[in-house]
Chain A
Amino acid sequence: MSAAAQGTSKAAHGDVGPKKKKGPGALATAYLVIYNVVMTAGWLVIAVGLVRAYLARGSYHGLYYSIEKPLKFFQTGALLEILHCAVGIVPSSVVLTGFQVMSRVFLTWAVTHSIREVQSEDSVLLFVTAWTVTEIIRYSFYTFSLLNHLPYLIKWARYTFFIVLYPMGVSGELLTIYAALPYVQKTGLYSVTLPNKYNFSFDYYSFLILVMISYIPLFPQLYFHMIRQRKKVLGHTEDYSKVE
Chain B
Amino acid sequence: MFHKSHPQWYPARQSIRLDPKGKSLKDEDVLQHLPVGTTATFYFRDLGAQISWVTVFLTEYTGPLVIYLLFYFRVPFIYAPKYDFTTSKHWVVHLACMCHSFHYVKRLLETLFVHRFSHGTMPLRNIFKNCTYYWGFAAWMAYYINHPLYTPPTYGEQQIRLALIIFLFCQIGNFSIHIALRNLRPPGSKTRKIPYPTKNPFTWIFLLVSCPNYTYELGSWLGFTLMTQCLPVAFFTLVGFMQMTVWAKGKHRSYLKEFRDYPPLRSPILPFIL
Which residues from B are CB-within-8-Å of A197?
Answer: 151, 154, 229
**Structural contact, A199 and B144, CB atoms closer than 8 A:** yes
Chain A CB within 8 A of B31 CB = no
Chain B CB within 8 A of A198 CB = yes
Closest to B231 in A: A200
Which residues from B are CB-within-8-Å of A196?
Answer: 151
**Structural contact, B149 and A200, CB atoms closer than 8 A:** no
Closest to A200 in B: B231
Closest to A195 in B: B149
Distance of A15 Cα from B151 Cα, bound (Å): 48
CB distance from B253 to the nearest CB of A (A): 7
Chain A CB within 8 A of B184 CB = no
Q: Do A194 and B230 form a contact, CB below 8 Å, given A15-B253, A199-B144, A200-B144?
A: no
Q: In chain B between 145 and 160, which residues have their CB closer than 8 angstroms to a CB of chain A?
A: 145, 147, 149-151, 154
**Structural contact, B229 and A198, CB atoms closer than 8 A:** yes
Distance of A195 Cα from B144 Cα, bound (Å): 10
Chain A CB within 8 A of B228 CB = yes
**Structural contact, A198 and B253, CB atoms closer than 8 A:** no
Q: In chain A between 1 and 36, which residues have their CB closer than 8 angstroms to a CB of chain B?
A: 15
Distance of A197 Cα from B147 Cα, bound (Å): 13
A-B contact count (CB 8 A): 30
Closest to B250 in A: A15
Distance of A200 Cα from B149 Cα, bound (Å): 10
**Structural contact, A195 and B253, CB atoms closer than 8 A:** no
Chain A CB within 8 A of B232 CB = yes
**Structural contact, B230 and A195, CB atoms closer than 8 A:** no
Which residues from B are CB-within-8-Å of A195?
Answer: 149-151
**Structural contact, B231 and A194, CB atoms closer than 8 A:** no
**Structural contact, A198 and B231, CB atoms closer than 8 A:** yes
Distance of A200 Cα from B143 Cα, bound (Å): 10
Distance of A201 Cα from B145 Cα, bound (Å): 12
From A15, A194, A198, contact of B147 by CB (8 A): A194
**Structural contact, A199 and B253, CB atoms closer than 8 A:** no
**Structural contact, A199 and B154, CB atoms closer than 8 A:** no
Distance of A199 Cα from B228 Cα, bound (Å): 9
Which residues from A are CB-within-8-Å of B232?
Answer: 199-200
Interface string of B207-249 (1 = CB under 8 A from A): 0000000000000000000001111100000000000000000
Closest to B143 in A: A201
Distance of A10 Cα from B85 Cα, bound (Å): 52
From A15, A194, A198, contact of B149 by CB (8 A): A194
| From B147, B228, B231, B253, residue with most partner A Cβ within 10 Å | B231
Interface of B with A (CB < 8 Å)?
144-145, 147, 149-151, 154, 228-232, 253
9 interchain pairs (CB within 8 A)? A15-B253, A194-B144, A195-B150, A198-B231, A199-B144, A199-B150, A199-B151, A199-B229, A200-B230
Interface of A with B (CB < 8 Å)?
15, 194-201
Nearest first, the 4 A-B pairs at minimum CB distance are: A200-B231, A195-B149, A199-B230, A194-B149
